Structure 1
Amino acid sequence: MPNSFPALRPSSGQPVTCFELAVTPAGAVASPQTLSEVEDWVPAKAPGTAAAALAAAGRYDPLDPESLHDKDIWYRAALGSFGEGDRTLSLDGLATIAEVYLDGALILQSGSMFEGHELPVHLKAQSRLDICFRALAPHLEAKGPRARWRPQLATSQGLRLVRTTLLGHMPGWCPEIHAVGPWREIALHETGQPTLSGLELLTNLGRDGKGYLTFSGQLEGWQGDVHLVCAGYRLVLEQVEPGRWVGTLEIPDVQPWMPHTHGEPHLHDVHLELGAMSIDLGRTGFRRIEVETGADGRGFGLTVNDVPVFCRGAVWTNADLLGLSGDKQTYRPLLEKAGLAGMNMLRIGGTMVYETRAFFELCDELGILVWQDLQFANYDYPVQDEAFAVLVKEEVRQQLTRLQGSPSLAVLCGGSEIYQQGAMMGLPESRWKGPLCEEILRAAAGAYRADVPYVANSPCGGALPFSPNEGVAHYYGVGAYLRPLEDARRADVRFAAECLAFSNIPEARTLEQHLPVNPGHDPRWKARIPRDRGAGWDFEDVRDHYLKSLYGIDPLALRYGDPDRYLDLSRAVTVDILEQTFAEWRRAQSTCRGALVWTFQDLLPGAGWGLIDALGRPKPVWHALRRAFQPLNVTLSDEGTNGLLAHIHNETPVARQLALSVTCLRDGMTPVVSGKRLFELAPHSSQDVAVTDLFGAFFDTTYAFRFGPPAHDVTVARLVDEGTGEVLSEAFHFPQGFDPARLPLDLQADLAQGEEADWLLTLTANRTARFVHLDVDGFLPSDNWFHIAPGAAKRIRLVAEVESDGTPAGTLRAVSSNSQISLRG
């Protein structure tokens, strides 16, 4: 029978969660009939992985993982408590070469981690479910069609032949924890109830303000009228052929869905009414996403409901590498931090896994766009093999059927760096641009989510697919290729689907608890530094290059002589780079329409690529991006002899009455010149202001003319709400660069109880301090690793990370200071 997975019903199924697990030599146990000879079983759960179950039993160390691909792993569960009779068995995902047995009889063989199944079964009083996950290693060694190129990303070329994740197979990128087991839900459903399959649920926002909800689906087991209900409106669907129901519901003046940076992500419940029963279709949002290529036709950008959106965020890795959890409880803390940082897009790269519907439901709720790579990366996949092509089509059908109606899904992409790999090997375009991305995946995307733009591959566009000045780029000019910060403008980046990879150091608390070793002196430190396989350098070398080129400090001497100072300056330099680069890309004159940092979160505690560490704590660079990503913000750019330019952005849907003030300070404390301007900034608009226009006379703000010694060493710009006086955003410029001198921390700090469970820290500076940072255990500050200057108090909310009656206690330091302030509530 055709695979009807995934299917929806009026009532949810009974999950099969409790299993036992046994590890056996590959091929040693041929069938469940001889499992009675296996005695060593441990508890296991579904959804879950063998690695997580074995770790819980003390049989597996995630910090020193052993291979699970050279063994067979058996799962078994007693089904007596589910009653007798006919049922439908739903298997959401089995990683990866799986055999499913019911009462000893083989009922399914599956060869893809990304394919679900529904099977009719008959349960007896003592029924038992057995699943054998066969060793993957022999399949990775199998011979397939000859590849046109061999990437260095992963350890096995055989991964191109098997539909499984690359996670665990990329040394230097992530721990070698192998995905094995029932990683997605297993459930039993009652028979005899209506079943909806082949769901197509598309939304569109008309330019007339109407919302259009188009439904198509195959409904089995129901005779009678079918109503589609959404936002208080209902439609009687039409049966166009036996069991096939279609219709388009029109909703006048519907509240649209927008990314949270540009409006409200309004959602509306959708369900089918079948007499007294209903099938929940989740929540949807009405939006219209279109691609803009710019005046020259070479760019790439998104408009949502006709509003241009600068897409910023990061590349998602995984919320739980050990267990591959896909529930809202696991996702929510991380996704909320993405929204809190002002991110409006996350990209699921082709080297990861498909996330569950719960991930997208949270992104729908939080107003975060999702760029979804289909799970293909780097390899030359054998789609000329008809069986493989059929498997790919079914995989994409299932994944996109799961995401019907989800408004956060913003871009579908044929995968990661396939085109780049072939082009960098010197092959002509005719060899690396093939039917997988251009035909098979494009057709599937159009068939199941026609409301979502499709990108053939990431990167792509231009004479070479990796050129940043056309189409979609992976931009590492600033970063791995060690280019100066000016390259972010010179490269004419249009859209960076990944960029700015650095070895980002966590806060001291994470290192003290989970990696208490000296940087560079201990092999455990270096083992956590990301690297490209086969490269003679790692991403700590990249960070050290910028520490020396931007701050004039020898990283080796500093690391040996003062490792704590080395860590602080290393945190500071990545904060500096990311904040400056995004300020450059968000300028109104910039060609860049979006950029996603590589990556969102670490998979192990240490100085990984992530903006969030492996414990879920924001790193210093997260705070830098929180400032850079504000919908209402001001930045400064050094335009040389053209002076200093202030860039003001209002991405919100309402006009704002604002005041811009700029002050130049000598010795970080004495005003030399200042100015102020009041203005109204329209919704979804930007404005540039030459700083000298505020002064009314010439002043060498960038110290470009060098007429005598510099008159100032810092410029601070403040964007203030004219009505409330609230400082909305600050920007700093240091015309003489980084000053290694360390002065006393000349700040006054007042910590008082705020509303509800939060606390309010008010800082007043007598002298400018650079990279001020708080260490307050158990509390997340609204800002950290910031500069502060005289002239306005800075207010920081401290929010408890978990509900607690405790009071904050910690320290306040600055990279520019040799002293600290103790904080206590």
Structure 2
Amino acid sequence: MKLFERSLNGEWQLRPAGGGKTMRGNVPGDVSYDAFLNGEKPDYRAGDNYKLYADLVQSDFEYSRELTVGRELLDCDDVVLQCDGIDTFSEIFVNGVSVGKTDDMFMQYKFSVKAALREGKNEIRILLRSTLKEMEKFENDRYVSIFNEKRIFVRKAQCHFGWDWAPNLPGYGVWQGVSLYGENKYRMRDIAFFTRRDGSVRAEITWSFSDYFDERAKDDEAVLEIFGDESLTLPVLGCKDKLCGKKSVLNFHIPNVRLWWPNGYGKQEFYYARVQLMREGKALDTAVRRFAVREIELDQSAYDAHSNICRLKVNGAPVFSKGSNWVPADCFAGTLDENRYETLLELARRANFNMLRVWGGGYYEKEVFYDKCDEKGIMIWQDFMFSCCDIPYDSFEFIEKITEESENVFARLRAHACIALICGGNELKGTLDPTEEPVYGLPFVDYFLRGIAQKWFPDLPYVNQSPFGFTEVANDLQNGDTHTNCYEEAIIGGDMAKYRGVLAKNRAAFFSECAVLGPCRYRSLKKFMPAEKLWPLNDLYTERFVSNPYSPCPLTFAERELLTARQLFGAVNNAREFCHKGMQAHYEILKSEIEHARAQRFCGGFMNWMYNDIWPTGTWSVVDYYLEPKSAYYAMREAFRPLHAFFTKETGGFRVNVVNDTMREAAGTLTLCGKRLGGEILWREQKFVRVGTANIAFFPMLAGRERADYWTAEFAAEGEIIKSVYFPNLWKLPFQSDYTYEVAETNGGYFVDIRARAFARAVSLDVAKENARVWYSENFFDLEAGETRRVFLETSETLRAEDIRVSDFTKLPEE
């Protein structure tokens, strides 16, 4: 129990170490961002302004503040200064006395400060040392580490030193909260729950003392009560036990247990535990913890003579993992607040995501991130923080640091139901090319990190890296997970018209990274690109959209996007057309990749690279830095529908697929049609289809059907009609813009009814109101001639009819 706890978040004083101009600082925050807020630097997000921050990241700074301490706090057995996250190298002083140092961005630090405090006014000072200057102390004469050869020695977000989607801008600061509190000798250090789907639970309570060596504690008891909600009024059950050493283990069974399920498979149910340390009828310490009951395993059983399944089972049910790769949501970690997390994660939930991978080149996220994933049913594939490098595992000091860091972090993370799988890191050396030698670190991820994961997450699966597999080729398409896409192969071949042929040959057991490029919306582009640099592509595009120096494709990312847009949709003459056609290409290709993966019986999941942006750019993400969903976001939402009917091109021809990821059987009528854009039906067929839970039914298409302009698949089941549109000859057709729409206000938002007179391609809705938060029931969809679609705009904003804009592929949107 924390006694007399007080937050020290808020305004601090910031100045260069050793003296200089004092500015307002913020905790949590970042030195560079605070300099921007104080007008000392221009906006790092615009143009190439980030280069003007080089002097800041090469300098030392200090944050300081005063606080008043009362006698009641000093009368506690100890007083703790808790720093939830400092990025990265620092020394902390209380009234001029050094109380501790930090050298790891990922760790929570606790410093005993009672001896340094005094009653009344006190000063706390945090001296932050430049990460780049500290890095100069390291030498790297043998380890491979892409983008920056010394970054592997620094326990900080590796992408802060530049990546093929991030700037080289290694800011630093107090990136998480700071608090001060008292504590007594007899208390709980940690509480963990290990659960089974039958309701069996094991609670492990770690104490700050041992009754073996303390006569006063010999009759102490641990008392535990379980409640069904956070009101803590009606206990479901209770149990107690005498202490025995520094850890108590209490086993119990919850009757009629309510389980935690991933998004789309069921509810996210929680229980609340009240734990008390009792001595002679008095509670010396009390703690309340939320936990969920769920059981997760990784099924890697044989699929056929050559392939293995790679699929999670949650509570015994097979789950197709749907989601994306999460990267830090800002260059400066201290700037991220709860609202930004909420928006990004709610967008993920609404897109039918049930998984995000916290990528190994970022950082272990803030507590609020994992709390919200718990509540939204978003499973977390959690990487250890290693990426695209060797690991210096032959250094004893490095091993000690990783051990300390992992125990510090995982003691916190294991409280979260969302954590589903632990992974040793991302694309370690030798992953994509088994001929690379020497390779440092494979035994480290195979054995050492596996042991750490087993200690803290004994009930969860562990994989040694991503991608992983059973053979020496970690990126093996026959088993394990895979980093692959067909987009890049088509780009390298220089002919996007062959894309579907490339895709038809691709198969994998699990796609954990499928990278497809697409620009941002035009209005986002204008926010960070100066007007004179908007068109044509130029050196600033290369800086902001970046490129991959390790790729066999010589084109920059912006050049790849332009090539794709031109080959699929014709001429691109300006920045507006670049964004418009490039986003549509992103939509079509990513949707195709997902549907191709879902059509494979042995495939267990798909995550694109990547979900969000670290700064304003226009490449891999489906939600941009300004929290604007790209059209590709809506492609993912459609392709990830729990019940979905769609077409794919296979090596032997086309086929139609009905996929059921719900927890119930789906049975109904499947109607297939081939049509002209004007609505003329060239062919039509119907069949009754029954698809079991977590299963797929598919049927080959007859030859010659591709003479139609487009195909439709409608599956009517359980009172719902699932519809998709497919263009067998890609998307370059003479579309028209001929539709009407009406807007009507309703409870919680607005209805927009759109009626198409001719085939309307990629109909999109937008709101002409800056920073309006609107959730669209669907967006960027096709409408057949004569079809009417009702779209719900969920919002608390007051909108006029003219604020709601409807557009389509034939028109450049007003942005």
Q: TM-score higher than 0.5 here? A: yes
Deviation at 1:781, TM superposition (A): 2.4
| Counterpart in the other structure of 1:511 | 525
The DSSP-based 3-state class of the residue aligned with 1:458 is: coil
SS of residue in 2 equivalent to 1:314? strand
Q: CA deviation at 1:523?
A: 4.2
For 1:527 and 1:283, the matched residues in 2 are separated by 45
- Is 1:605 the counterpart of 2:605? The answer is no
Residues 458 and 210 (structure 1), Cα distance of their counterparts in 2 relative to 1, 3 Å cut: same
Q: Does 1:158 align with 2:145?
A: no
Give the Cα–Cα distance (whole angstroms) in 1 for the partners of residues 96 and 44 of structure 2.
33
536-545 or 46-55, which moves further after superposition? 536-545
The code of the aligned residue for 1:769 comes to A
Residue 582 and residue 519 in structure 1: after superposition, are their counterparts in 2 closer, same or farther (change >3 A)? farther
Q: Does 1:280 align with 2:288?
A: yes
Q: Deviations over 1:293-336 (max 9, x none)?
A: 43256442211122221112111112333343565333111100
Of the three residues 244, 253, 261, the one matched with 1:250 is 253
Of 360, 368, 383, the residue aligned with 2:370 is 360
Farther-moved stretch of structure 1 (578-587 vs 475-484): 475-484
Instruction: Give the 5 Å matches for 1:459-478.
Output: 459-461=467-469, 462-478=471-487
Q: What is the 5 A alignment of 1:633-672? A: 633-639=644-650, 644-672=654-682
**How far is 1:455 from its partner?**
0.9
Residue 126 of structure 1 corresponds to which residue in structure 2? 121
Question: Residue 804 of structure 1 aligns to which amino acid in structure 2?
Answer: T
Q: Whole-Å Cα distance in 1 between the matches of residues 333 and 139 of structure 2?
A: 31
Letter paired with 1:540: A
1:145 Cα shift? 6.5
Give the 3 Å change call, closer, same or farther, for CA 736–532 of structure 1 in structure 2.
Answer: closer
| Partner residue in 1 for 2:448 | 440
Q: Render the CA deviation track for 1:482-539: whole Å, top value 9, x for unaligned.
A: 373343442322212211231x222333334554553444544443213224664322
In structure 1, the residue corresponding to 2:805 is in which secondary structure?
Answer: strand
CA contact (8 A) 1:202 1:451 kept: yes
- Which stretch shows the higher mean deviation, 666-675 or 292-301? 292-301
User: Which residue identity does 1:532 align to in structure 2?
Assistant: N
Match for residue 225 of structure 1? 221
User: For structure 1, which segment, 366-375 or 773-782, has the greater mean C-alpha deviation from structure 2 after superposition?
Assistant: 773-782
Comparing 414-423 with 260-269, which one deviates more in the overlay?
A: 414-423
| Matched-pair contact (CA < 8 Å) for 2:677–2:785 | no
Task: Assess if the C-alpha contact under 8 Å between 1:144 and 1:161 holds in 2.
Answer: no
Instruction: Give the Cα–Cα distance (whole angstroms) in 2 for the partners of residues 640 and 496 of structure 1.
Output: 19
| 1:70-149 matches, cutoff 5 A | 70-80=58-68, 85=74, 86-122=78-114, 123-124=117-118, 125-144=120-139, 146-147=141-142, 149=143
Q: Quote the sequence identity (%).
A: 20
Residue of structure 2 in register with 1:3 after alignment: none
TM-score, length-scaled by structure 2: 0.87
- For residues 765 and 691 of structure 1, what CA distance do their matches in structure 2 show? 28
What residue number does 1:32 align with? none
In the TM superposition, what are the counterparts of 1:713-728 in structure 2 within 5 Å? 713-721=709-717, 723=719, 726-727=720-721
Gaps in structure 1 of 5+ consecutive residues: 1-8, 30-37, 693-698, 703-709
C-alpha deviation, 1:367, in angstroms: 0.6
Cα pair distance change 1:618/1:451, threshold 3 Å? same
Q: Determine the C-alpha separation between the residues in 2 that align with 1:648 and 1:19.
A: 56
Distance of 1:194 and 1:330 partners within structure 2? 39
Once the two structures are TM-superposed, the CA of residue 261 in structure 1 deviates from its matched residue by 1.9
Alpha-carbon deviation of 1:742?
Answer: 4.4
CA shift, 1:418, in A, is: 1.2
SS of the residue corresponding to residue 527 of structure 1 reads: helix
Q: Distance in 1 between matches of 2:4 and 2:660?
A: 45
SS of aligned partner of 1:528:
helix
- Structure 1 runs of 4+ aligned residues shifted over 6 Å read none
Cα distance change on mapping 1:487 and 1:211 into 2, 3 Å: farther
Report the secondary structure of 1:324's partner residue: helix
Q: d(CA) in 2 for partners of 1:189 and 1:139? A: 31
Cα separation, partners in 2 of 1:46 and 1:659, compared to 1, 3 Å: same
Deviations 1:787-806 (A, max 9, x none): 22136432211122x54355
1:413-452 → structure 2 map (5 Å cutoff): 413-420=423-430, 423=433, 426-427=436-437, 431-432=439-440, 434-452=442-460
> Structure 1 residues 120, 623: closer, same or farther in 2, change over 3 A?
same
Once the two structures are overlaid, the 10-residue window that deviates more, 78-87 or 621-630, is 78-87
Distance 1:809 1:128, change over 3 A: same
- Per the TM alignment, residue 49 of structure 1 is displaced from its structure 2 partner at its CA by 1.7
Pick aligned residue for 1:737 from 699, 705, 730: 730
Which amino acid in structure 1 is aligned with residue 60 of structure 2? D
SS in 2 for 1:392: helix
Preserved contact between residue 204 and residue 212 of structure 1 (Cα < 8 Å): yes
Secondary structure of 1:167 counterpart = helix
The 8 Å contact of residues 258 and 287 in structure 1, kept in 2 or not, is answered as: no
When residues 570 and 663 of structure 1 are mapped into structure 2, their CA distance, relative to the original with a 3 A threshold, is same
Residue 317 of structure 1 aligns with an amino acid whose one-letter code is V
CA distance in 2, matches of 1:163, 1:212: 35
2:240, 2:250 within 8 Å by CA — same for their partners in 1? yes
Aligned equivalents of 2:603 and 2:447: distance in 1?
28
1:33 aligned residue: none
Q: Does structure 2 retain, via aligned residues, the 8 Å contact 1:419–1:460?
A: no
Counterpart of 2:514 in structure 1 is 499
Q: In 2, distance between residues paired with 1:75 and 1:234?
A: 48
Q: Alignment partner for residue 766 of structure 2, among 763, 772, 775?
A: 775
Match of 2:214 in 1: none
Cα distance in 2, alignment partners of residues 339 and 631 from structure 1: 13
Distance 1:680 1:389 in 2: 54
Length, aligned pairs only: 765
Q: 1:80 to 1:807 in 2, by over 3 A?
A: farther
Is the 1:468–1:496 contact (alpha carbons within 8 Å) kept by the matching residues of 2?
no
Alignment CA distance shift 1:722-1:139 (3 Å): closer
Matched residue SS, 1:201: strand
Contact (CA 8 Å) 1:20, 1:44: kept in 2 or not? yes
Mapped contact 2:94–2:122 kept (Cα < 8 A): yes
Counterpart amino acid of 2:458? A
Match of 1:624 in 2: 635
Q: CA deviation at 1:447?
A: 0.2
Match of 1:45 among 13, 21, 26: 26
1:585 and 2:597 are equivalent in the alignment: yes
Distance in 2 (alpha carbons) for counterparts of 1:486 and 1:721: 32
Answering whether residue 547 of structure 2 is matched by residue 565 of structure 1, we say no
Instruction: Kindly indicate whether residue 269 of structure 2 is the aligned counterpart of residue 266 of structure 1.
Output: yes
CA distance in 2 between partners of 1:433 and 1:298 (Å) = 26
- 1:641 and 1:601 map into 2 onto residues whose CA distance is 36
